Amino acid sequence: MLQVDDLRLGFVAGKKNLIAVDGISFAIARGETLALLGESGCGKSATALALLRLLPGAGRIFGGQVSLDGENLLQLSEAKMRQVRGGRMAMIFQEPATSLNPVLTVGRQIGEVLEQHLKLSGAAARERMLALLRQVGIADPERRLDEYPFQLSGGMKQRVMIAIALAGEPQLLIADEPTTALDVTVQAQILDLLAQLQAERGMGMLLITHDLGVVARMAQRIGVMYAGELVEVASREDFFSRPRHPYTQALFAALPDAAHRGQKLLTIPGLVPSLAAMPAGCRFADRCAQVMAQCRTQSPAWREVAPGHQLRCHWSGSAGGESALRHQLSEINGDAGKPCLEVSDLKVHFPIRKGVLQRTVGHVFAVDGISMAILPGRTLALVGESGCGKTTVGKALLQLVAPTAGSVRLGGGELVGLKGKRLRTVRRHLQMIFQDPFASLNPRLRVGEIIAEGMAALRLQTEAGARHSAIVALLKQVGLAEEAIERYPHEFSGGQRQRIAIARALAVQPEVLICDEPTSALDVSVQAQILNLLKALQAELGVAYLFITHNFAVVEYLAHDVAVMYLGRIVERGRAEEVLRRAQHPYTQALLSAVPTPRIDVISQAVRLAGETPSPANPPTGCHFHPRCPRAQAICRENYPPAQAISSTHAVNCHFPG
């Protein structure tokens, strides 16, 4: 259905043409999923944008052909391309916050597609919109249709993007990190939905992701990209059982899991070469553990190592040697005295206002009475579905959102109610890495100025020379070159922007770091680098982390303690091994069953929860989870369950645990 031949594209910078994708070819049949893997900056998203002719102003297609059902898309007029985009081909973009129009309601944005491609309007269009929102798992769709993107959580924005992409009933769906911002239960639901639609419509899919678990579940064929070139193409079975390229092997070795909990994750040294300085031979040579003399001078040709398994590599060895490359990293002592951050009965309720006089007619119970403690040098992972209040907890701890009630104590001092200079002074000890790096970085400031901003506000490193050296050291720590100081956020890929956000948070040397999905935008090799960095900083400085995430592989590797949130309340908490190995709450068990695993020999059956997550504006009586719980009884509908101690460190809010 889709045939891409020798596609070359790049960007104009002054009088130079910088080649970003250098002659890649692939095909996608009806009903087939091809996954493109690779690090940030390898050209995956640029390839996707080129297929739809959506490259930015400086982007140019220098050669090649893109055919959809035999029609060359590169020769179509812009008017004809508008019929193709959203209709025959649709795309789920990587960053929903920047892809959705902030001044149009959700309904208006889905309605545009229905009107343009299916000629639907009025009541019929609204019914179709509601059905689409329900399909992608959004609760209370009638209310959400009339809301604006800023009123939705990151995961909800991503689901709206998926609904918009599916609205035109495309033949080919390009999905650029479609489940990055989603928690595991919704991710399982979305992947099932995409697989079902694919089977029903014969829809082809180009899946761009760094999640090998998603690839194992969805893709029939996998292409690995590095520095603008495809370096390995294989079937799903060959890719997961016999990866041959040293780069592919390094990606697998960088995956976090419980087995490597006390060890350093393997990382790939160096960076993807810049577009202006591509090496003459193999582009991976400078970072390759198997490099030979000919790799530096001669670009490898394609060779077939098995039927349907192609490779661009001079080295003819196989996998192995991973254990020899691993370095032991001592486990951090978890019994470090008094908590550095204590939270008691924290509540954040947002008023719902209506009418001309904006009277309060109800409340959204975003956070509804949670208590927790974080010890120095330990990581508490806060997990749960999108919209359950995890990010609101992080913002309330920093007093970026005013708590309705409760107490937040940092080192014995109360934060709730602090204002002005006193609050700014305390914020040096408590910093946050936000979920969306594009929205949290000032587009008008250079990277050096962004990182220096916190230092200047808190009067750290007052000498210009010392501050510059500190910024260079921070950038190096997070895997960015010194030249990044003079560049703007829009010049970086999503993963690189996240690294800048981490460097900014670390610049003021905090004692507690609130990490809101800090590795969600990163590919596995960079994720390994960031996790190693966070672990090393914790070992050196005793910094504590509140790690808000939906990536259970990261929780397995990094967290000492886990708290599971549902609809504004913590339903289970305990040591990581207790919660992950012996989960007692039916919600925790459902979350863990939905985690995709990067193996094809393990087929896990996800527990499908009934219904949808209720709206926090109207939570159910009794146990909030009872409408979806497979073991709910009459008592669950009447009384909220008290905390039951399973062990001295493990507690669960459930009438029928286990």
pLDDT of residue 321: 36
pLDDT of residue 186: 72
Residues 6 or more apart in contact with residue 318 via CB below 8 angstroms = 242, 244
The span from the CA of 25 to the CA of 37, in Å, is 15
Token code pair at residue 9: 């594209």
User: Looking at residues 251-256, what average pLDDT do you find?
Assistant: 85
**Residue 31 backbone class (left: φ over 0; alpha: ψ -120 to 50; beta: rest):** left
| 485 vs 185, higher pLDDT | 485
**Domain, as residue range, for 444:** 440-492+499-505
pLDDT of residue 319: 47
Closest CA to 169 of 48, 107, 94, 86: 86
pLDDT of residue 262: 67
Closest CA to 521 of 544, 546, 500: 500
User: Looking at residues 220-228, what average pLDDT do you find?
Assistant: 94
Q: Read off the CATH number of the domain in which 16 is found.
A: 3.40.50.300
**Residue that finishes a domain, picked among 457, 483, 505:** 505
114 — phi, psi (to 5°)?
Answer: -60, -40
The span from the CA of 359 to the CA of 523, in Å, is 46
| 332 vs 200, higher pLDDT | 200
Is residue 203 in a domain? yes
Residues 546 and 394 sit within 8 Å (Cβ to Cβ): yes
Is residue 65 in a domain? yes
Is residue 310 in a domain? no
**Residue that finishes a domain, picked among 452, 483, 505:** 505
The most confident of the ranges 83-92, 253-262, 356-365 is: 83-92
Token code pair at residue 368: 């509804």
User: Looking at residues 364-387, what average pLDDT do you find?
Assistant: 91
- For 291, 440, 521, 627, the CA distances from 182, given in Å and listed in that order, are 38, 19, 12, 22
For the chain, the 3-state helix, strand and coil shares in percent, each to the nearest 5, are: 35, 25, 40
Domain count, the chain: 2
Is residue 353 in a domain? no
User: Looking at residues 87-93, what average pLDDT do you find?
Assistant: 92
**Residue that finishes a domain, picked among 161, 184, 219:** 219
Is residue 272 in a domain? no
Instruction: Give the DSSP per-residue string, 288-347.
Output: -TT--GGGGTSPPPEEEEETTEEEE-S----S--HHHH--B-PPPPS--SS-SEEEEEEE
User: Looking at residues 214-223, what average pLDDT do you find?
Assistant: 92
pLDDT of residue 536: 80
pLDDT of residue 154: 72
pLDDT of residue 405: 94
Residue 604 banded pLDDT, cuts 50, 70, 90? low
